[in-house]
Amino acid sequence: MDGDVGDVGWVAPGHEHQPDRAVSDHKGHAQSGLQHDPPMLTMTSRRRAFTLTEMLFVLVVFGLVAGATMRIIVRQQKFYASTSDLIAMRNSLRDLGEAIPLDLRRISSVGGDIYAMSDSSVDFRLATGISVICSIGALRTTVVVPPPTLSSRTALTTWISAPTTGDTAFVYDEGAAGGVNDDTWDKVAVTAALSVGSCPTTSGYTANATEAAAAQTVTFGTALNANVVVGALIRFFRRAK
C-alpha cells in the first residue's frame, strides 16, 4: 500500500482528482458566461414623415407667395400694355403728321386760308412764293421783284410756282405811323402773268446789269397803299384743292 501511495501521491479524502468534472465545470461556466452577457446596443434610424399640420402650413405659405407673384405679373402686364398703347398712339400721330402734305400744315383757319372743306376735300390758300419789292410803278399797280438767281447766291425771290392770273398777293404795309402797331398785310389780286422788268443796281438788290435785266414785273388789280414802300415783302398764294 505504501508503494501505491508513492506512485500516485496522497490525496485527502473527498479531494480525489476528477478531470472529467473539471472540464465539465469549465464548460458550464463558459456557457453560463455566454448566456448572461448583456445584449449589445444597436442604433436604428427612422425616417420622420410630415404631419398634416406641417403640410397645411406649407400649402398656405405657397398659396400666399403664388398669389403675390401673380398680382405682380398682372400689374406688369397692364403696365406693358399701356406703354405699348402709348407708343402706338405716338407712332400713329407721327405717321399722320407725315401723311399730311406740307401745304396743309401751313394753313390757318383763323387767317382765312381755308375756303371750303368737306369730308373728302379741302379748298385752301396755297403759298406759292415770296419776294421783295425792288421798285413800284407810277400807278402803283405794278411792282418789280429781283430775279430768283443772283450771283451773291442770296435768294430774294423764291417761286414754288410763278404767279399768274387769279393768284393772290399779300404786300407788307408798314402803316402811316411807322410803328409795329399799325403794320398790316394788304391783299391784292394778281391780274397778269409775270413779265420782264428792271431792278436797278442802285436798289441794292442786284449786283450787275444782267441781274437787273432779269427782274420780273407783277401786275395787280388794285393800286397799292401809299404806305407800301420799296423793300416791302410780298407773299404769293393760290387757291388749291
- Distance separating alpha carbons of residues 19 and 25, to the nearest angstrom: 10
Quote the pLDDT of residue 63: 86
Least confident of 132-146, 176-190, 193-207: 176-190
Is the pLDDT at 93 greater than 50, yes or no? yes
Query: Between 178 and 19, whose confidence is greater?
Result: 178
Is the pLDDT at 71 greater than 50, yes or no? yes
Q: Where are the domains of the chain?
A: 52-99, 114-240
Is the pLDDT at 5 greater than 50, yes or no? no
Degrees to nearest 5, angle at CA 37 with 36 and 38: 110
User: Exposed/middle/buried for 171, CB within 10 Å: 0-12, 13-18, 19+?
Assistant: buried
187: amino acid identity, one letter: K
Q: Which three cell numbers stand for residue 50?
A: 410630415
- Distance separating alpha carbons of residues 70 and 81, to the nearest angstrom: 16
At residue 31, the 3 state secondary structure works out as helix
- Using one digit for the tens of pLDDT, what is the confidence trace for 75-85? 888 888 888 88
- Distance separating alpha carbons of residues 141 and 107, to the nearest angstrom: 27
Q: What pTM does this model have?
A: 0.55
Quote the pLDDT of residue 236: 94
Is the pLDDT at 147 greater than 60, yes or no? yes
Q: Residue 51 region, left (φ>0) first, then alpha (ψ -120 to 50), else beta?
A: beta
Quote the pLDDT of residue 112: 72
Query: Between 116 and 31, whose confidence is greater?
Result: 116
